[in-house]
A and B are shown apart, each in its own frame.
Chain A
Amino acid sequence: AQSVTQLDSHVSVSEGTPVLLRCNYSSSYSPSLFWYVQHPNKGLQLLLKYTSAATLVKGINGFEAEFKKSETSFHLTKPSAHMSDAAEYFCVVSDMSRDDKIIFGKGTRLHILP
Chain B
Amino acid sequence: NAGVTQTPKFQVLKTGQSMTLQCAQDMNHNSMYWYRQDPGMGLRLIYYSASEGTTDKGEVPNGYNVSRLNKREFSLRLESAAPSQTSVYFCASINDRVYNSPLHFGNGTRLTVT
Contacts and interface: CB of A to CB of B under 8 A. Distances in A.
B107 to A, nearest CB: 6
Interface in B20-51: 31, 33, 35, 40-45, 48, 50
Contacts, number: 61
A102 B45 contact: yes
Interface in B75-114: 90, 92, 94, 96, 99-100, 102-103, 105, 107-108
A106 B42 contact: yes
Given A32-B100, A43-B105, A49-B102, A101 B41 contact: no
Interface residues of A, number: 24
A7 B40 CA distance: 13
Interface in A31-47: 32, 34, 36, 43-44, 46
A104 B44 contact: yes
Contacts of A52: 100
A49 to B, nearest CB: 5
B110 to A, nearest CB: 10
A100 B50 contact: yes
A6 B100 CA distance: 20
Nearest to A3: B59
Contact of B100 (A44, A49, A100, A103): A49
Interface of B: 31, 33, 35, 40-45, 48, 50, 56, 58-59, 90, 92, 94, 96, 99-100, 102-103, 105, 107-108
